[in-house]
Amino acid sequence: MAKKKPKDEKSHSEGPRIANRKAWHNFQILEVLECGLALTGTEVKSLRAGQAQLDEGFARVRNGQLILVGVNIATYPQAGAMMQHEPLRERRLLVHRRQIKQLEMHVKQKGKTIVPLAMYFKGGWAKCEVGLAIGKKFFDKREDLKKKDQQKEMNRAMNKRR
């Protein structure tokens, strides 16, 4: 008899984890929040196939709701023309009201924005990880690259000694 995993240790193995690697390079992420996604049937199928791009996406607060804008979930080829969804439509993020109010207060400050970091399935539900972010300047990006290179060199030197 196989052991069952405890409910709190659910993995992201139910489908692909679509990450926005550019967000970590272009922004300094201050806070990360996991949200639910309100999707149509063909969007879910397409997302399970890993057909989404988060690069140009962002979130905004509108009428007390958190809306995901600019995220491209490709059309599902097996669906008919009548059942197809619009790839770049605005999608609602499912978040508690008080969390939306906190995010809205942060976004009103100059230079802060909400960017999608990842999309995945957890417990059968589509989730989107969003981050409260501040845009990095060019010299900040160069500084981060230098730190990464230095860390790689240190790791190589440590491996040679072993």
The tens digit of pLDDT for each residue in 38-97 reads 988 888 988 998 888 999 999 999 999 999 999 999 888 888 777 888 888 999 999 999
- Work out the average pLDDT over 9-27: 77
In a domain, 146, yes or no: yes
In a domain, 4, yes or no: no
Is 42 within 8 Å of 52 (Cβ atoms)? no
Q: Tens of pLDDT along 101-153? A: 999 999 998 889 999 999 999 998 999 999 999 988 877 788 888 888 899 99
In a domain, 40, yes or no: yes
Neighbours of 33 (CB within 10 A): 19
Burial class (CB in 10 A: 0-12, 13-18, 19+), 4: exposed
In a domain, 18, yes or no: yes
Name which of 103, 84, 85 is nearest 93 in CA terms.
103
Q: Is the dihedral of CA 135, 136, 138, 142 positive or negative?
A: negative
Say how many domains are in the chain.
1
Domain extent at residue 151? 13-161
CA distance 122 to 21: 20
Q: What is the DSSP letter of 80?
A: -
Please give the structure tokens belonging to residue 44: 């879910």
